[in-house]
Structure 1
Amino acid sequence: MTRDIAELQRIASQVRRDVVRMVHGCQSGHPGGSLGCTDYLVALYFAIMKHDPSFNMDGEGEDLFFLSNGHISPVFYSVLSRSGYFDKAEMATFRKLNTRLQGHPTTHEGLPGVRIASGSLGQGLSVAIGAALSKKLNGDDRLVFTLHGDGELQEGQIWEAAMFAPHNKVDHLISCVDVNGQQIDGPTKVVLSLGDLNAKFTAFGWEVMEMKGNDMAAVVEGLHKAISLSGKGKPVMILMQTEMGAGVDFMMGSHKWHGVAPNDAQLEQALNQLEEALGDY
């Protein structure tokens, strides 16, 4: 499933429309990080990963993706739906009673594409390492991808997993940190500075690279580079520079839109900036 950059950009525009409409529809959710990570997830599901929307939990012979920062579920649900995992009309149920589209992804709802519950931050890397080791034991050479927030790196479990992966040569793991410098209480450098992430992950034994996360061509190129670095004895870490709220001008540049829903006027303003490329749900 390969598409050119222009088509991926159009898909990303539609996904951003889905994000703001979902959060507006229930007046709850996390638009900022969802918008910032849209290009990455669109590239992953529509151009990079080998995956099957008919979906089974084992994912044998497929690339796997684990969303660790589960609060950005709107973008995850949109990308899953738009790539064929479930009908787009279901996005209208986001965060509503009896929905499968919970505010943070869960497995007991049986939503296709979701392999772990990720409401509690810090756990996704550990789960992904387990899945990657299982693939090795099963002779399955496909890759495992993860996405994390930079604020999430303040969780200690991340660093236990970060030690474990290089020690055990989990070299078909490609992790990505959304480095937008924002978290719910303010800038990460103010809440709890993360220091030099490149130096830290390098010291832990990872192959580290950086990429621009809101430039579709750069994201696709960066993911191909990450794949070329895999399989050489080290896990790969992508430090992805993004802007919270990317694609909607008044949501950018601040932590304010981490977990705030747009009102009617703000929704209209946002949608006026985003092409309806695939048809709204």
Structure 2
Amino acid sequence: MTITKMPATDQLIDVIGNSSVAIAVTDGAGSVILHNKALSLLMGGEASHLGERIKVVGATDGLKDLLATLKKERRLENVAVVYRSTDGQERSARVNAVRVESGGQVRIHWVSRPELGERLPVSNTAAENTAASDAAAWIRSVDEAEHPALAPTADKAAVMREFYEVAPVAIHLIGVNGGVMHANPADVALVEYTDTPDEYVGQHIRKIYEDQGLVEDFLSRWDEDSPIINFRANFVTKDGAPRPVLIFSTAQAEGGSVNNTRCFVFNDPEPRRARDTISAFGWPA
């Protein structure tokens, strides 16, 4: 599918660099072309090569296993991994990746989400201490982190555009009015609008949410720049079928006004789990 409207370079720099999920682009051997600050947090620091920094759960090797799988299958999804810092600290995550060959070069696009026990936001009636949750701690750490030396920059615009087009996760940007400003091919395919993308892109985001009260709640939180992390919901496909998803979303704001969201949406690996709720008033589905 051809993208009808690619985000501007400065939008891609923000969406990739400040995302709530960890992103890297490497060559075919794992040398890093760019990575964002969320990946720095998972790895316990910056890295110019994934090398010994990543291990597949239940496998003897780390990067070698992942590269072999990608060479054979071109993509992988929801693989349990452990990121290891240089001082031996470990952090569990789930990784999606896709291998691209172009012009005699190989690039691999990686998206990892941290394994979290909690979510944001929580129900208004929940007993959880939101400020102390691992989801809140994660996004605070991302917000406060410094950009790595290999952060996305304007001179990497071609690589960022490729990432957006082939990313192994759905990405959309929502404007302050709730309209879908941009959606990458994975996002359009997730809700089955690949053949008619204009029926989704440019429309209001409520079109793809099963729970209309939930999306209205989200819209008010985006306006407050409130993160939505590790949240289970149902989207609705073009033919009306529910699509269980896991949402990681933050907002890009200037001067107290939101410009757009940075929404990363994963196929829920546990689709039978109950969907998360927020409102104390039980918005109707």
Same fold (TM over 0.5): no
TM-score bin (small chain):
under 0.3
TM superposition score normalised by structure 1:
0.23
